[in-house]
Structure 1
């Protein structure tokens, strides 16, 4: 099994609900890729994979979890001068709306 030839930092975000906002702080321009567990496995095997994100030219960057799933976040230096220092935090989880009572 091959693996990516560039350095990256991996964050396992575990199970997240759709609408959760992730804030990524970077020390330099790098790629930020938010992907499901299946796509992270494909990333590690250098197969085609899908992700949310791209080149982060400003920091902090906010990404929204698009669907309920197990998520991984990668910060990588592919195409850039070096691996940025990074920090990830959950900013907001979606609020569960109480059911409205019929009047």
Structure 2
């Protein structure tokens, strides 16, 4: 599976993650355990989904170690993305 990955490290609940995309893609905000399941192709839970407009803002639901994965659902194109945590 091809995807872009950003390890956001430890974040506090309520912080906002902003993802800028050059075209539509799937954006998933996941805790460490769910990211591991995603990488292994197993069932996982995430916040986000298909993003057709940019930027996408996702609120971190609880404190912990967080990751963002961006994929194209198997489409044969590339995506450029920027990820930042808003203060």
Distance 1:38 1:65 in 2: 15
Which structure 2 residue ranges, 5 or more long, are not aligned? none
Runs of 4+ in 1 over 4 A off after TM superposition: none
The DSSP-based 3-state class of the residue aligned with 1:87 is strand
Q: TM-score, normalised by structure 1?
A: 0.80
Deviation of residue 25 (structure 1)? 0.2
Is 1:43 the counterpart of 2:38 in the alignment? Answer: yes
Which structure carries more strand by proportion? 2
Count of paired positions? 87
Query: Any conservation in 2 of the 1:19–1:64 contact (CA below 8 Å)?
Result: yes
Q: Which of 1 and 2 has higher RCO (CA within 8 Å, sep 6+)? A: 2
Is 1:91 the counterpart of 2:86 in the alignment? Answer: yes
